[in-house]
Amino acid sequence: MRSYPVGLLLISSMGTGKKIWDSEDSARSYLYGYARPSIAFQTNGMVNTGKVQLDLAPISFLSFYLGSAKTYRSLKKMGDFNCAEIVCEGQLERHYVGAKMGLQFGTYFFMNDYRFEKDRVLKRPGPFADEQATLIGRERYDYLTQNLSVLGKRITDHWSVGILNQYSQMHYHRNTSNMLLMFGEYGWDKWKYFLASGVFKNLQHQNIFSTLLMVTWQGEKGLTLF
């Protein structure tokens, strides 16, 4: 859940991982490589997305991924967008590639996720709204880049705090957004509770207070670090 731009999203994902190499040194059991195909579905009732993705990690803390997603939207209103002039409905197709890195130094940790994708509206003319980045793409298709960075500190076995920043930019239509939040996370067994507050800089360059709440249940984690 996010207060600005207002949003509620339910996400379910499942995949299977296979090691492609492993360290023979038991003291370095965290060093390995893997491949992981996965599927995911996300919805809030009016926006429904299905996607397939392949992750390839040459080493456990660095992975590259590619995927494809299709979104079906039945929105009459979307945030600050004028849906009479901007396409908010219909099908949106995404093809993307990206890279993730996760590092830990003592109790401090850092994660970065860079993603480049092509967004294309099907069967609808005109510039379109991207509900994930809350940006506007040019007519028919545009290219979106996003970079998510997290810097945090583990306080106890269950508590972590830190800073999250996500920058998004449309290539052709040339508009940007940025979300900068301070967060606290509590983890217990297979559950995680994440609460963050800060500012969201929208495509009109307005800084607006925003709060983000995530509740996560994770089954068998498998090989991935993320």
pLDDT at position 184 = 98
The DSSP code sequence of 38-88 is EEEEEE-SSEEEEEEEEEEEEETTEEEEEEEEEEEEE-S-BTTB-TTTSB-
Asked if 134 contacts 103 with a C-beta cutoff of 8 angstroms, the reply is: no
The whole-number mean pLDDT for each consecutive block of 10 residues of the chain, a chain of 226 residues, reads: 91 94 77 95 94 96 97 84 88 96 95 97 87 91 97 97 98 95 96 97 94 93 70
User: CA Rg, the chain, in Å?
Assistant: 18
Question: What residues have CB less than 8 Å from 153, skipping those under 6 apart?
Answer: 107, 108, 109, 160, 161, 162
Sign of the torsion formed by the C-alpha atoms of 1, 157, 162 and 58 = negative
Which DSSP category does 26 fall into?
G
pLDDT at position 26 = 66
Class of domain 10-15+35-217: mainly beta
Per-domain residue ranges of the chain: 10-15+35-217
pLDDT at position 126 = 87
Q: Using CA atoms, how far apart are residues 92 and 131, in angstroms rounded to an integer?
A: 10
If phi > 0 it is left, if psi is from -120 to 50 it is alpha, else beta; for residue 134 that is left
Query: Encoding tokens for residue 18?
Result: 């296979």
pTM for this model (two decimals):
0.92
pLDDT at position 225 = 67
Question: What residues have CB less than 8 Å from 94, skipping those under 6 apart?
Answer: 51, 68, 69, 70, 71, 117, 118, 119, 120
Q: Using CA atoms, how far apart are residues 35 and 65, in angstroms rounded to an integer?
A: 10
Asked if 5 contacts 79 with a C-beta cutoff of 8 angstroms, the reply is: yes
